[in-house]
């Protein structure tokens, strides 16, 4: 009876074993998936989400960089166009270049000298129209250069007065080189080479309303009759009166800031431009430059009311002294070998004049002061120019540069500033 009773139970258990095995297998698979597959799947999903976020960030950064590059490129193009317009503004207009030749004869007439030979040289080539259409426009195609050689006869004061009258030469569009003055018993001869830069794109505004020339008394020429054929015979030739500068109070007390003879070779107070060097001079040394327009800067900055004096030797070119030089502008004073003096405020010519003697291949002394908002220029202890500014430039540094070509030497340079102890 007991066997009969246990047999059905055992049989049932046997019949349930496959189901139990399947259940256990399913539970094992579920446990395997939960411990091995699911975590890896979640890690894969997390990595996929992070990758999508990273790709979106990269795309956004690339778009931002493209925008930045486009902005930078547009800014560079704008600056280049502005720089080109600024450069072209320094050229004469074509009409002004043509009128300058007539003006030279007028200047000669005022000076009592005569242009005996005016020859045009070969002009600089300009790009052909077909070349402009098929290739980027070369810089030379936006301007033209006219070259002339001049031979002028007259007295030495008259010839120097003639050079002083050419006010346009103080601006970048006119370049005068190879100047030679030969003194004779009865009359002297001046030869020079002139380059005239003009552009059809220039309005020539820089050359409008040029300041009048301050003529030293020694260069005033009184003409018995006009020489120039463009002037009607018998007509009176206007002669500007001599420049007489009114008296000013004495300069305020000054204190010596710098005294450079350059003999020691110590140039720690200067940042030399290209082609500047020390040269032997009179048993010592002088600062010199040859055929370079680079600037030499004084290490001192923040200079406002100052006086600067130095000796300068010029072969054929000239020297430029800049005061209050900063990003806001500068006052620039130029002196060339013929004794012509010009004063600029930024790029604007405000005054020009001349000393009474030539300075070719000899030492001259240039002194410039900027005190009480008045700029005074002295050559060999003679005051040549004076300019009062109503809106003075901010303080800045001092620089030296040469103009034209040849060699320029600078020596015995001194800088004074206001003596605060005595001025207070």
* pLDDT attached to residue 364: 94
User: Which tokens sit at 424?
Assistant: 């207070």
* pLDDT attached to residue 7: 65
Mean pLDDT of 114-126: 68
- Cβ atoms of 403 and 317 within 8 Å: the answer is yes
Binning pLDDT at 50, 70 and 90, where does residue 217 land? Answer: low
Report the relative pairing of strands 284-290 and 407-418 from DSSP bridges.
antiparallel
- Cβ atoms of 224 and 378 within 8 Å: the answer is no
Adjacent-strand bridge partners of 36? none
- Decide if pLDDT at 138 tops 50: no
Total-model pTM: 0.55
More confident residue, 242 or 250: 250
- Max CA distance (Å), the chain: 169
pLDDT digit string, tens, across residues 24-36: 777 777 776 666 6
Cα 398 to Cα 385: distance, rounded to the nearest angstrom: 19
Cα 96 to Cα 167: distance, rounded to the nearest angstrom: 13
Given this structure, which CATH class describes domain 254-423? Answer: mainly beta
Domain 94-132+139-219 classified CATH 3.30.70.60? Answer: yes
Rounded mean pLDDT of the chain?
79
- Decide if pLDDT at 100 tops 70: yes
Cα 414 to Cα 135: distance, rounded to the nearest angstrom: 53
pLDDT digit string, tens, across residues 310-367: 999 998 788 999 999 999 999 999 998 878 888 999 888 888 887 766 666 789 999 9
- Decide if pLDDT at 254 tops 90: yes
Place of tokens 């220039």: 202
* pLDDT attached to residue 237: 40
Cα 217 to Cα 239: distance, rounded to the nearest angstrom: 11
> Is the fold of 94-132+139-219 the same as that of 254-423?
no
Cα 7 to Cα 9: distance, rounded to the nearest angstrom: 5
Using alpha carbons only, give the angle 246, 251, 359 rounded to the nearest 5 degrees: 70
* pLDDT attached to residue 313: 94
* pLDDT attached to residue 321: 97
* Domain parsing of the chain, residue ranges: 94-132+139-219, 254-423
Cα 301 to Cα 299: distance, rounded to the nearest angstrom: 7
- Decide if pLDDT at 415 tops 90: yes
- Decide if pLDDT at 413 tops 90: yes
Mean pLDDT of 111-139: 59
CA neighbor of 112 nearest in space, from 181, 165, 150 = 165
- Cβ atoms of 153 and 113 within 8 Å: the answer is yes
Mean pLDDT of 7-22: 74
> Per mean pLDDT, which range of 39-48, 193-202, 384-393 is the poorest?
39-48
- Cβ atoms of 104 and 163 within 8 Å: the answer is no
Q: What is the DSSP string of 382-411?
A: EEEEEEE-SSPPPPBEEEEEEESSSEEEEE
> Per mean pLDDT, which range of 31-45, 183-197, 374-388, 405-419 is the poorest?
31-45
Core vs surface per residue 90-109: b (16+ CB within 10 A) or e = bbbbbebbeebeeebbebbb
* pLDDT attached to residue 57: 79
- Decide if pLDDT at 137 tops 80: no
CA 212 vs CA 226, 240, 283, 388: distances in Å: 21, 9, 43, 15
Place of tokens 């009969």: 4
Under 8 Å CB-to-CB from 401, ≥6 apart: which residues? 273, 289, 293, 294, 295, 296, 319, 320, 322
């Amino acid at each position: 009876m007991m066997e009969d009773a246990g047999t059905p139970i055992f049989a049932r258990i046997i019949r349930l074993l496959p189901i139990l095995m399947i259940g256990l297998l399913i539970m094992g698979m579920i446990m395997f998936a939960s411990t091995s597959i699911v975590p890896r799947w979640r890690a894969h999903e997390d990595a996929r989400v992070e990758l999508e976020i990273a790709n979106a960030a990269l795309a956004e950064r690339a778009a931002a960089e493209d925008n930045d590059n486009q902005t930078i490129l547009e800014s560079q193009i704008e600056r280049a166009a502005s720089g080109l317009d600024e450069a072209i503004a320094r050229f004469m207009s074509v009409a002004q270049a043509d009128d300058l030749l007539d003006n030279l004869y007028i200047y000669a007439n005022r000076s009592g000298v005569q242009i005996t030979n005016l020859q045009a040289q070969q002009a600089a080539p300009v790009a052909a129209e077909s070349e402009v259409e098929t290739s980027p426009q070369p810089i030379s195609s936006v301007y033209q250069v006219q070259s002339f050689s001049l031979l002028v006869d007259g007295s030495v004061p008259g010839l120097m007065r003639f050079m002083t009258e050419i006010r346009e030469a103080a601006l970048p569009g006119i370049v005068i080189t190879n100047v030679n003055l030969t003194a004779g018993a009865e009359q002297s001869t001046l030869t020079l080479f002139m380059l005239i830069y003009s552009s059809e794109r220039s309005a020539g505004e820089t050359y409008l309303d040029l300041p009048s020339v301050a003529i030293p008394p020694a260069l005033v020429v009184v003409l018995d009759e006009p020489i120039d054929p463009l002037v009607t015979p018998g007509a009176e030739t206007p002669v500007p009166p001599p420049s007489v500068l009114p008296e000013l109070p004495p300069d305020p007390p000054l204190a010596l800031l710098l005294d450079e003879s350059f003999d020691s070779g110590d140039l720690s107070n200067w940042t030399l431009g290209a082609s500047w060097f020390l040269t032997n001079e009179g048993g010592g040394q002088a600062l010199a430059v040859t055929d370079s327009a680079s600037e030499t800067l004084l290490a001192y900055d923040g200079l406002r009311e100052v006086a600067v004096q130095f000796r300068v030797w010029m072969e054929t070119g000239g020297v430029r002294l800049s005061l209050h030089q900063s990003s806001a502008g500068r006052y620039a004073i130029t002196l060339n070998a013929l004794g012509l003096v010009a004063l600029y405020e930024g790029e604007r010519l405000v005054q020009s004049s001349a000393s009474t003697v030539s300075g070719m291949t000899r030492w001259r002394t240039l002194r410039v002061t900027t005190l009480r908002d008045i700029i005074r220029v002295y050559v060999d202890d003679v005051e040549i120019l004076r300019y009062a500014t109503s809106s003075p430039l901010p303080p800045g540094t001092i620089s030296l540069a040469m103009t034209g070509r040849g060699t320029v030497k600078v020596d015995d340079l001194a800088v004074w500033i206001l003596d605060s102890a005595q001025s207070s």
